[in-house]
Amino acid sequence: MKKQERYEIIPVIVDVTSNLKTINFYLIKMEKSVILVDAGLDNDACWTALQNALSKNNLTVQDITEIVLTHNHGDHVGLVNRITAMHAIPVYAHETAIPRLKRDRDFFEMRVEFFAEIYKQMGCGEAGHKQVEYLKQAMLKGSKSAIHTDISPIGCNHMGFKVIPVPGHAEDQIALYHEADQILIAGDLLIQHISSNALIEPDNTGKRLPTLIQHKQSLEKIYALSVDLVFPGHGVLIDEPKALIKKRLAGIERKADRLKNLIQDGITTGSELAESYYKKLYSTQFSLVMSEIIGHLDYLEDAGHVRKEMLNGVWHYSVVE
């Protein structure tokens, strides 16, 4: 039987003023290697926090032997270019993250077209047009944040950890599971103080992903494992993950029921449901709100609770009796 390599997980915690509360990334210190899991934002606060964590453990940036990214979002990958410019090391991520991390122009042009179409189909009107224009500008500016170094697809097992796909919040999200110690480094799958958004996205061919359904399945997958401690991408460590997962799953059902009732009352389009349910947040957090609504509509449709009909280019939903 192969001997388990000893390791220590060193959290790097950066306080932020948003409702995320903190940005967390982690150093896994082993006998002959140091893995950086995620890389925070590309700012001085995250860089200083990383340097301090390394210094307290008698390490430097040059001691980091590789970087593993749980998913492609900017608050998880920010320091990769700064680190790899100083010190050429491997970077690993799920294979579907690579076009996003490399800011592939064809992919992001397809993504803009995807959102233009879906917002039109949801009846979002001017709010949808405004968000699409924002995405076009972000695509142009985003090329500056592309990961410069090569990115390798991560395997099913990595340095003593099982690599578990947990899509939903992001198509490419992975978690690292140490079965013997019953710990999970979970990206943004599970956060103690807020529910993680299942963000609507296209796959690499332009097809809409059933992100809330995926997120629910990912939570159920982790619930079935023996996990005593979760290291999340934001907030405090989670020492009762099963109870929190049950709470999050119940929250999905509760919101789905509320939306079903609104449809029963005659509110039939995605945009109307979003405005009715979220009020002012429809304007101030449009993309997040529409992800929530579209995800729950997909979930209700998949469960056979609602059906949709296209009228003048807009989907209208009705309850299945």
The closest of 257, 256, 262 to 275, measured between CA atoms, is 262
- pLDDT, tens digit, 9 for 90 and up, residues 141-188: 877 889 999 999 999 999 999 999 999 999 999 999 999 999 999 999
Task: Quote the percentage of the chain above a pLDDT of 90.
Answer: 95
Q: Give the total residue count for the chain.
A: 321
SS3 of residue 298 by DSSP: helix
pLDDT in tens, 58-111: 999 999 999 999 999 999 999 999 999 999 999 999 999 999 999 999 999 999
pTM across the whole model: 0.96
229 pLDDT more than 70: yes
Predicted pLDDT at 5: 78
Statement: residue 1 has pLDDT above 50? no
Q: What is the pLDDT of residues 260-284, one digit of tens each?
A: 999 999 999 999 999 999 999 999 9
Which structure tokens are listed for 190? 């599970």
Domains observed in the chain: 7-102+147-239 (3.60.15.10), 105-141+248-319 (no CATH)
Contact 162, 156 (CB under 8 A): yes
The count of C-alpha atoms lying within 13 angstroms of the C-alpha of 221, restricted to the half-sphere facing its C-beta, is 19
Give the C-alpha separation, 197 to 255, whole Å.
Answer: 13
